[in-house]
């Protein structure tokens, strides 16, 4: 029996639903529903509870929901799964939180900066974080240019509010990394997935913004998880 799945697509820092705009039509063409949730990253009064509430509201009334969270969206995903039934969680180049941890604490706790610098030295690109080197290096310039109007900062509030879960939700979870992610290198993501969730890391083509650079390959991966 054919089942329509709703993919709740959670963006990373800044909260722009636009990040998913190349994946949404591909999921819809495959016969499913895709809901890219816009999060108020620039609202000083909004933190993780508000983010989770917006995602829950966006998929209200749906039965088969897959939460797909990119980067900082990894802090919102388990809170959504703790608040309503979901079929599974997919973490894409995501920060994997511990219960009660804040996104601000995560960087030092997992050694993110050391991992980034180690990868930069090994592969010969700049250690200074810049947009082109770490985020847009594999994104079509024409696609990147259309994103400028959607960019907004992530204010401190979301980094300061804890991931309000008692434990990781008892929901099937998959962790996938862009094979060429320079911001969260694969070695870092693999270690964090094992240490925090006891899961093996999977990979798809692309860097940190794989949904922009390789939407077809990412969509194929998401469909294969069903």
Q: What is the mean pLDDT of the chain?
A: 96
147 confidence band (pLDDT: 50, 70, 90): confident
Percent of the chain with pLDDT over 70: 99
d(CA 10, CA 220): 18
Q: Is the pLDDT of residue 2 over 70?
A: no
Whose CA is closest to 163, among 61, 83, 108, 60? 83
Percent of the chain with pLDDT over 90: 93
Give the mean pLDDT of 90-114. Answer: 98
Return the pLDDT at 5. Answer: 97
- Does the pTM surpass 0.85? The reply is yes
Contact between 31 and 6 (Cβ < 8 Å): no
Q: Is the pLDDT of residue 202 over 70?
A: yes
6-224 to CATH, choices 3.40.50.1820, 3.30.300.180, 3.40.50.300, 3.10.130.10: 3.40.50.1820
- Give per-residue pLDDT as tens, 6-55: 999 999 999 899 999 999 999 999 999 999 999 999 999 999 999 999 99
């Amino acid at each position: 029996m054919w089942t329509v799945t709703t993919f709740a697509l959670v963006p990373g820092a800044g909260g722009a639903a636009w990040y998913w705009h190349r994946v949404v039509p591909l999921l819809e063409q495959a016969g499913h529903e895709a809901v890219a949730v816009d999060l108020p990253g620039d609202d000083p009064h909004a933190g993780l509870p508000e983010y989770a509430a917006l995602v829950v509201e966006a998929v209200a009334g749906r039965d088969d929901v897959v939460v797909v969270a990119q980067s900082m969206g990894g802090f919102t995903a388990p809170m959504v799964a703790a608040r309503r039934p979901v079929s599974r969680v997919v973490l894409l180049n995501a920060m994997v939180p511990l219960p009660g941890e804040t996104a601000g604490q995560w960087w030092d706790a997992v050694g993110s900066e050391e991992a980034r610098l180690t990868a930069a030295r090994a592969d010969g690109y700049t250690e200074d974080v810049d947009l082109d080197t770490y985020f847009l290096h594999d994104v079509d310039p024409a696609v990147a240019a259309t994103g400028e109007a959607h960019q907004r900062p992530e204010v401190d509030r979301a980094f300061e509010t804890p991931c309000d879960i008692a434990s990781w939700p008892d929901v099937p979870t998959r962790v996938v990394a862009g094979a060429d992610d320079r911001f969260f290198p694969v070695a870092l993501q693999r270690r964090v997935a094992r240490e925090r969730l006891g899961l093996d890391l999977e990979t798809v083509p692309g860097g940190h913004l794989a949904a922009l650079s390789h939407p077809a390959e990412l969509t194929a991966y998401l469909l294969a998880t069903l």
